[in-house]
């Protein structure tokens, strides 16, 4: 099942049980094919970081890592 990027990020963080850098999160999403871009290219750390900034009620940045705010 393919997810929106934000949903894939939540899933990956919950499964890991720990915070991750944007690059680690992008790598996990691409490896597990949780989200596939419309152009077929891999998700980048910049896209992950932008999604964090857009969703401050879901994600927090702490010590260089992205965590779930829940």
Q: Quick one: pLDDT band at residue 2, thresholds 50, 70, 90?
A: confident
d(CA 4, CA 52): 13
The tens digit of pLDDT for each residue in 10-43 reads 999 999 999 999 999 999 999 999 999 999 999 9
d(CA 41, CA 17): 27
Decide if pLDDT at 1 tops 60: no
Give the residue numbers spanning the domain of 52. Answer: 5-68
Residue 43's domain is classified under what CATH number?
1.10.10
Helices (H), the chain: 5-16, 22-31, 45-54
Average pLDDT, the chain: 96
> Percentage of residues in the chain with pLDDT exceeding 90?
96
Q: According to the model, what pLDDT value does residue 24 have?
A: 98
The number of domains in the chain is 1
């Amino acid at each position: 099942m393919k997810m929106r990027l934000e949903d894939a990020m939540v899933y990956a963080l919950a499964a890991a049980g720990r915070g991750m850098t944007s690059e680690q999160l992008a790598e996990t999403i691409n490896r597990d094919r949780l989200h596939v871009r419309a152009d077929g290219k891999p998700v980048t750390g910049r896209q992950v970081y932008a999604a964090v900034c857009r969703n401050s009620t879901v994600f927090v940045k702490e010590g260089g890592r992205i965590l779930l705010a829940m």
